[in-house]
Chains A and B, each alone.
Chain A
Amino acid sequence: MIQLNALAGGLFLLTAFGVLAVRQVIGCLRLFVIQSILLAASACILGYELASIHLLVVAGITLGVKSILIPWLLFRVLSHEIHARREITQVLNIPTSLLVAAAITIFAYFIAQPLLEISSAAFSRINLPIGMAGLLLGAYAITVRREALPQVLGILTMENGAFFAGVSIAPNLPLIAELAAAFDVLIIALVMGLLARKIQKQVGTTLVGKMATLKEE
């Protein structure tokens, strides 16, 4: 069982790399769906192992909101005519970005080390470092990507990473907090999607990384 969880974690990390590096914007969205499914899978495995109905409910919520509702919403709000199909340039070129991403992952492991020395739970050893790596990789994806939808997906990846760590270190967070957090992520996706659509209408492009008119000279 613990191996399955580790497998979910490894693939989760790979999808986080993918959100960073894939050029096709719809491809990024599909990777996000896979990522959320992996998060739900990890929550299921942990729920089964710790015999906690709570975690199974969390897995259900994740599956419903993050794998189905949010991608559908983003797809509807940013339909084909509005967003760009492919991102032409990033701030750093992709192979360099991937190397930096590998370095960030190792850094995340080092941050998690002191915390793991105290706890002895087997699942935290997997989930906490990978969750933190997901968090930092999402933040890196935001800085490196120029299109609107990948930046939104970067933020959602950060939240996924935080929850991936959360299912193992805080499995008993009150259910209402979990529900409210899921609702919150939904609102993030909605707000950012609508704003990107407005930007497209106003400015004519969703290349938000290139918008830099407001600054001191």
Chain B
Amino acid sequence: MIQKIIFNILQVLVVMLLSPLVKGVIDCLKENIQSKKGPSIFQPYRDIWKLFHKDEVVSEQSSWIFRFTPFICFTTPMFVALLIPVLTDYPLFFAFMADMLGGGFILALGGFFAALAAVDTGNPYGPMGASRTRMVGFLAEPVFMIVFFTVSFVAGSTIPYIVQKVWVTPIANFFEPSHVLVMLAFLMLILAESGRIPVDNPSGHFELAMIDESKGLEYSGRGAALMKWGGCMKFFVLLCIFLNVLVTPWGLAGSGSLWEVLLAVPLVLVKMFFFIIVLVIIESSLAKLRLYRITEFMGAAFVTSLAAVVIQLLGI
């Protein structure tokens, strides 16, 4: 019992400490593929450290929402990290606190406050970006829901640990058409939610075209550090759900020994590394979509997930 609580806390620590590393690897790899010399993979750590040591400037016209949001954006991914399989494949202490739907809502809470805070400052670029983020968000909602419904039809539950078991044991289940289609739909969803090409350009500086980056525009010092770190953790958490539940549900600790759990950490990083390679290839070969074409992209994701549900329901 104590062991499970320790492992849970270990899980959250892993998410906190390793998420900037993942972001660093992505940035470096993207630059390398474009034949440039990228930043060091530890650069996000240095950025967060630097921001914590700077002064914070807060607008007088802003309200408590602006001050609270960095904390909310920092803690919501940590809550979700308590619920999902990061290191172990058996449920831990807090695992039954909420299921995947609950996890999705908690992440959405962070996004909601970020959007409100962006409007709070009165800067014109903030609300523009916030409304665009909301548009992508509400288009992504049906896809989220249907992916979760499909997955719960297959597994009979919405707790990620139980869902993951379905695809681990009989290997044939992995190739089920509904599973493949759900993977595709979820991949498109991750691209949308974490603001990567083709939905949004994460390294763009042009405020008129920003979607997801705009939520961090007005922050400085500690607030900026927390927002940045929170963004990294949200991405890490989404990747954990995708990889550990849907795509590669192997390599997680099966028993209760500390050694196995610690061994699972580099394995998770290796899985993420392979996925990052795929992501970087996608990012480097596509162009960012025009704003109204995002509806078509999300429509395609929706139809893919709908096809998965239909195929699952009609019992192929």
A residues within 8 Å of B by Cβ? 3-4, 6-7, 9-11, 13-14, 17, 21, 94-95, 98-99, 101-102, 105-106, 109, 125-126, 129
Check B177 against A9 for contact (C-beta < 8 Å). Answer: yes
Closest to A94 in B: B296
28 A-B pairs (CB sep. < 8 Å): A3-B176, A6-B175, A6-B177, A6-B311, A7-B175, A7-B176, A9-B177, A9-B316, A10-B177, A10-B180, A10-B316, A13-B311, A14-B181, A17-B304, A17-B307, A21-B296, A94-B296, A94-B299, A95-B295, A95-B296, A98-B302, A101-B303, A102-B306, A102-B310, A105-B307, A105-B310, A126-B316, A129-B314
Task: Tell me, yes or no, whether B172 is within 8 Å of chain A by CB.
Answer: yes
For residue A130, give the distance in angstroms from its CB to the closest CB of chain B. Answer: 8
Interface residues on B, range: 20 to 34
Q: Which residues of A contact B172 (CB under 8 A)?
A: 3
**A106 and B310 contact, Cβ closer than 8 Å, known pairs A21-B296, A94-B296, A94-B299:** yes
Task: Tell me, yes or no, whether B57 is within 8 Å of chain A by CB.
Answer: no
For residue B187, give the distance in angstroms from its CB to the closest CB of chain A. Answer: 13
B residues within 8 Å of A by Cβ? 172-173, 175-178, 180-181, 184, 295-296, 299-300, 302-304, 306-308, 310-311, 314-316
Bound: A21/B303 CA distance, A: 11
Bound: A61/B299 CA distance, A: 35
Bound: A129/B172 CA distance, A: 22
Chain A residues touching B, majority SS: helix
Bound: A95/B175 CA distance, A: 28
**A13 and B307 contact, Cβ closer than 8 Å, known pairs A21-B296, A98-B300, A98-B302:** yes
**A17 and B180 contact, Cβ closer than 8 Å, known pairs A6-B316, A126-B316:** no
For residue A12, give the distance in angstroms from its CB to the closest CB of chain B. Answer: 9
List of 10 A-B pairs having minimum Cβ-Cβ separation, nearest first: A10-B177, A95-B299, A98-B303, A94-B296, A3-B175, A6-B177, A3-B172, A6-B316, A98-B299, A7-B175
Bound: A13/B310 CA distance, A: 12
For residue B139, give the distance in angstroms from its CB to the closest CB of chain A. Answer: 9
Closest to A125 in B: B316
Bound: A10/B304 CA distance, A: 10
Bound: A7/B302 CA distance, A: 19
For residue A94, give the distance in angstroms from its CB to the closest CB of chain B. Answer: 5
Closest to A4 in B: B175
Q: Which residues of B contact A125 (CB under 8 A)?
A: 315-316
Check A99 against B175 for contact (C-beta < 8 Å). Answer: no
**A11 and B177 contact, Cβ closer than 8 Å, known pairs A6-B316, A98-B303, A99-B303:** yes
Bound: A105/B304 CA distance, A: 12
Bound: A105/B177 CA distance, A: 15
